[in-house]
Amino acid sequence: MNGCPIAIGRTAPETAFWLETLDGVLLLAVMDPTGRLIFANQGFRDMSGLVASSLGTIDHRYLRARLRNRKILRHLYRTLNAGRIWRGEIRYRTALGDRWLDAAIIPVRDESGGIANIAGCAFEVTERRKVQRDLLKSATIDPLTGLLTRQAFHAELADLLETAAATDSHAAVIVLDVDHFKNINDSYGHDAGDELLRVVAQRVRQTVRATDIVGRLGGDELAIAFSPIPSEARLHAVLNNLKVAIRQPLEMKIGRNIVTASIGAACFPRDGQGPDELLTQADLALYAAKRAGRDRSEVFAPHLLEATRRRSQLQHEARSSLALGEFYFDFQPIVGLRSRQVEGVEALLRWRHPHHGILSPGEFSDVFQDYRISASIRELVFEAIADQAARWKAEDVPFGRIAINTSGADFAAPGFTQRLVAILDSRGIGPDSVAIEVTEAMFLGAHADVVRQEVDLLSLGGFQVAYDDFGRGFASINHLKALRIHQVKIDQSLIWQVAGDEAARTTVNTLIHLAHSLGLIVTAEGVETRDQRELLDLMGCDQIQGYLVAHPLPADKVPELCFSMATAAKSLSESRPTRSGFAARQRRGGPAA
Ligand code: C2E
Ligand code: MG
Ligand code: MG
């Protein structure tokens, strides 16, 4: 302790005592005005790998070489030269790795006011720094993908836009969403979903430049921002590269998979000024890309705002129309090719719109995106259909079964099946008078599991389940085999081709035979011509539905048609054997005459 130049106690032994006490708590080092290290307590010596005898022989350069954050030096020198105490954090290299010191460096003055020594005292704060760094990292880096978190992306985007504004450059903000991501999560579990996101994030990162900002906004939504963009063509090239990169087959634990993404982009300064505005516009563009069929990109354009405005206007109108009873049903007969009678009537939703006239579901699909409106319509569907069926039953109308269209969202609504059964039951309508129409998309969509379970329950409960629009998507016969269904409705797009296209004819014929081999009733949708009906009859199709028989009818026109067909069929069967009967016997391998 000899030669310690700073006075803590009044006498040298007192000082030595204090310094020894502080060892292990406080790190102390003192330099003379020339920069020679003349004192270091045990703690500082241990940390720096110094022995006591080296004091006086090494100088500030030894210490400076161990400094990691050299940026502080300028400020440090300036403060000390001004005779003030410098405070700050020092990152100090040691044999055991870097240490962080919370330090005060003090210019100690002599009696004449000149600088006698430079004393440094510090606490080690390495652990605290580590915790802080981890916290900061977890707040800025998404642990799953290694991309920036939403907040960090937002902050970096704000910086990027500031620079772009200052340099008069253009910038682009891109948001990207993995198509049908939820299906992967639901079908294969969250581990597969996580694996997929990691790979997609990696591909995005590799597709853009290292200086571009890439973040995960949440769920499966990623975002990219960059500047400058020399031209719109460059932006389109980036969008295309992203699509191509994501579409490459993935080797995942669950097997080989191909995913696509929908992408939206907005440009600074054209489409917005701040990060929030640009992200909103890019999101609108993304939404447009999804609506246009996914696996595509859209750049924001003002008409997209118009589409959003129209959508909310339509939803607003739907709410008041619901209150005013302007939603109702038309009914389209489904006729047996052999019985020549109405075997079912399909309820088709209509909206008597105050300004646009009568609308079909395809024209107001946007209103279903509001789940409250969807729920109200669902309730209306049940009640109206049950009431209608009850009225026809009371009048002995031979309508067969009443067919109800459903959606994935219907089944996902809590208590859907129970409510349906309860309402029908309250009107005395048994399951044998009802068919439930489901579509392929419902078994692949977000609520696939619950749809399958509930469809099983309905089927076991005696309801006829019809697989609607078969052949429109990619549904396979295997799908039909795996589901508890009774009826398959061949989509009109296939039916319209049977008369003119040999391949379509073969497809429909094969489909009918396969469906029959699975014990299913086959209905052809959208039959418009006699030729189509003749061919379908020869192929052994069981039922037809379409404009040839009848357009969707107002409820009060249905009884007349049902009664007249029943009467005609009766008199026909009394007069001669039908062509259909001939075809049916042929199909079943029975005698031709
Ligand atoms: P879908 O269940 O396949 O109904 C058949 C559609 O084809 C109906 O269209 C019908 O009007 C039309 N159509 C019938 N025969 C012919 C024909 O010969 N030629 C042509 N060109 N078209 C024909 P619509 O009424 O516009 O309904 C469209 C879709 O909306 C329905 O397709 C169904 O998926 C859905 N939908 C209708 N009502 C409801 C409902 O109450 N709930 C739900 N979730 N969906 C419904
Ligand atoms: Mg249908
Ligand atoms: Mg259909």
Confidence bin at 474 (pLDDT 50/70/90) = low
Residues 79 and 160 in one domain: no
Kindly state whether residues 81 and 183 are assigned to the same domain.
no
What are the tens digits of pLDDT across the range 427-465?
Answer: 999 999 999 999 988 887 667 888 999 999 999 999 999
Report the distance separating Cα 177 and Cα 121, nearest Å: 53
Q: Is residue 91 part of a domain?
A: yes
Residue whose CA is at the smallest distance from ligand 1 atom 37:
348
The domain that holds 483 is classified in CATH as 3.20.20.450
Q: Mention every residue, 6+ apart, whose C-beta is less than 8 A from residue 112.
A: none
The first and second tokens of residue 538, run together, are 């020869």
Q: Residue 479 is encoded by which pair of tokens?
A: 């799908």
Buried b (16+ CB within 10 A) or exposed e, 283-308: bbbbbbbbeeeebbbbbbeeebeeee
Q: What is the dihedral of CA 524, 526, 528, 530, to 10 degrees?
A: 0
Q: How far apart are CA 5 and CA 97, in angstroms?
A: 30
> Considering the domain boundaries, does residue 505 fall inside one?
yes
Which pLDDT belongs to residue 589?
36
- pTM greater than the 0.75 cutoff: no
Q: Does the beta carbon of 377 lie inside 6 Å of ligand 1?
A: no
- The Cα 52–Cα 388 span in angstroms is 101
How many CB atoms lie under 10 A from the CB of residue 534? 14
- Structural domain ending residue among the three candidates 259, 277, 300: 300
Mean pLDDT on 57-63: 87
Full domain range(s) for residue 490: 311-558+566-584
Tell which residue, 352, 414, 417, has the closest CA to residue 382. 417
Interior angle at CA 465, CA 531 and CA 505, nearest 5: 25
The answer to whether residue 105 is domain-embedded is: yes
Nearest-ligand number for the alpha carbon of 437: 2
Helix (H, G, I), strand (E, B) or coil at 452: helix
Type and span of the H or E element at 359: strand 357-359
Mean pLDDT of the chain: 88
Which has the minimum average pLDDT: 219-233, 253-267, 550-564? 253-267
For ligand 1, atom 19, the nearest C-alpha belongs to 526
Res 369: pLDDT: 77
Distance 566 CA to ligand 3 centre (A): 25
Q: How many A from CA of 512 to the centre of ligand 1?
A: 21
CB of 333 within 6 A of ligand 1: the answer is: no
Same domain, residue pair 287 and 159? yes
318 in the same domain as 441? yes
Tell me: pLDDT of 392 over 90: yes
In angstroms, rounded to a whole number, what is the distance separating the alpha carbons of residues 477 and 457? 22
Q: How far is the CA of 525 from the centre of ligand 3 (A)?
A: 6
The amino acid at 345: V
Last residue of a domain, one of 274, 300, 326: 300
* Between residues 202 and 253, the one the model is more confident about: 202
Write phi, then psi, for 527 (nearest 5 degrees).
-75, 120
Show the tokens assigned to 350: 């209509």
What's the pLDDT at 134? 73
Proximal ligand: closest to the CA of 378: 1
Ligand 1 centroid, distance to 348 Cα (angstroms) = 6
Q: How remote is the CA of residue 152 from the centroid of ligand 2, in Å?
A: 47
Q: Ligand 1 atom closest to Cα of 381? A: 41
Say whether both 266 and 321 belong to one domain. no
pLDDT tier, 518 (very low <50, low <70, confident <90, very high otherwise): very high
328 pLDDT higher than 50: yes
Closest residue by CA, ligand 1 atom 17? 526
Virtual torsion, Cα 266, 314, 332, 424, nearest 10 deg: 110
Token pair for residue 438? Answer: 């489901």
User: For ligand 1, is residue 466 a contact (CB within 6 Å)?
Assistant: no
Q: Is the CB of 532 under 6 A from ligand 1?
A: no
**Is there a single domain that holds both residue 277 and residue 328?**
no
The verdict on 318 and 422 lying in the same domain is: yes
Residues 364, 236 share a domain: no
> What gap in Å lies between CA 570 and CA 175, rounded to an integer?
63
Ligand nearest to the CA of 348: 1
Asked whether residue 191 falls in the same domain as residue 172, the answer is yes
Nearest C-alpha to atom 33 of ligand 1 is from which residue? 405
How far apart are alpha carbons 316 and 329 in whole angstroms? 21
Report how far residue 456's alpha carbon sits from residue 450's, in angstroms, rounded to the nearest whole number.
10
How far is ligand 3, taken at its centre, from the CA of residue 334, in Å? Answer: 12
Cβ(332) – ligand 1 distance below 6 Å? yes
Q: Which residue has the higher pLDDT, 478 or 364?
A: 364
The closest-lying atom of ligand 1 relative to the alpha carbon of residue 407 is: 44
Atom 35 (ligand 1) nearest CA: 361
Beta bridge partners of 173: 225, 266
Please check the confidence at residue 136 and state whether its pLDDT lies above 80.
no
Task: Name, in order, each residue with C-beta under 8 angstroms of 61's C-beta and a sequence gap of 6 or more.
Answer: 35
pLDDT number for residue 252: 82
Residue 60 — very low, low, confident or very high, per pLDDT cuts 50/70/90?
confident
Read off the CATH number of the domain in which 33 is found: 3.30.450.20
Tell me the percentage of the chain whose pLDDT exceeds 70: 92
CA of 547 relative to ligand 3 center, distance in Å: 13
* Neighbouring-strand partners of residue 215: 148, 223
In a domain, 19, yes or no: yes
- Minimum mean pLDDT among 198-207, 239-248, 301-310, 540-549: which range? 301-310
**294 shares its domain with 315:** no
| Residue type present at position 378 | R
* 40: in domain: yes
Contact 190, 198 (CB under 8 A): no
Please state whether 259 falls in left (phi above 0), alpha (psi between -120 and 50) or beta.
beta
- C-alpha 177/C-alpha 261 separation (Å) is 5
Average pLDDT over residues 89-108: 89
Q: How many domains does the chain have?
A: 3
pLDDT at 582 over 50: no
* pLDDT higher than 70, residue 31: yes
* Strand stretches in 182-326, DSSP E: 213-218, 221-226, 250-252, 255-257, 261-268, 297-299
406 lines ligand 1 (CB under 6 A): yes
Quick one: pLDDT at residue 440?
A: 86
Tokens coding 494? 């296939």
Q: By alpha-carbon position, which residue is closest to atom 22 of ligand 1?
A: 526
Cα(551) to ligand 1 centroid in Å equals 11
Same domain membership, residue 230 and residue 316: no
**Gyration radius from the chain CA atoms:** 39
Cβ neighbours of 449 (radius 10 Å): 13
The answer as to whether 489 is a domain residue is yes
Strands 213-218 and 543-544: unpaired
Based on the fold, state whether residues 319 and 413 are members of the same structural domain. yes
Find which of 153-162, 288-297, 329-338 is predicted with most confidence, using mean pLDDT.
329-338
Among 348, 388, 469, 528, which is best to mutate for testing ligand 1, by the most ligand atoms less than 8 A from CB?
A: 348
What local confidence, expressed as pLDDT, does residue 159 receive? 85
- Output the CA 469–ligand 2 centroid distance in Å: 7
| Domain end point (choices 243, 267, 300) | 300
- Closest C-alpha residue for ligand 1 atom 21: 526
Residue 284 sits at φ, ψ, to 5 deg, of -60, -45
Q: Which of 174-188, 411-425, 490-504 has the lowest mean pLDDT?
A: 174-188
Evaluate if residue 3 carries a pLDDT over 90. Answer: no
State residue 9's pLDDT score.
47
Write the residue with the smallest CA distance to atom 15 of ligand 1: 546
- Looking at ligand 1, which residue's alpha carbon is closest to its atom 26? 360
Phi, psi torsion values for 216, nearest 5 degrees:
-110, 115
Out of 405, 495, 545, give the residue to mutate to test ligand 1, the one with the largest number of ligand atoms within 8 Å of its CB: 405
* Residue 374 counted as domain residue: yes
pLDDT bracket for residue 306 (50, 70, 90): confident
Residue 7 falls inside a structural domain: no
> Quick check: 293 pLDDT over 90?
no
Place of tokens 């430049």: 209
Distance, CA of 338 to CA of 544 (rounded, Å): 10
584 C-beta closer than 6 A to ligand 1? no
DSSP string, 116-171: EEEEEEEEE-HHHHHHHHHHHHHHHB-TTTSSBPHHHHHHHHHHHHHHHHHTT--E
pLDDT recorded at residue 20 = 65
CA distances from 158 to 136, 151, 201, 271 (A): 19, 11, 22, 15
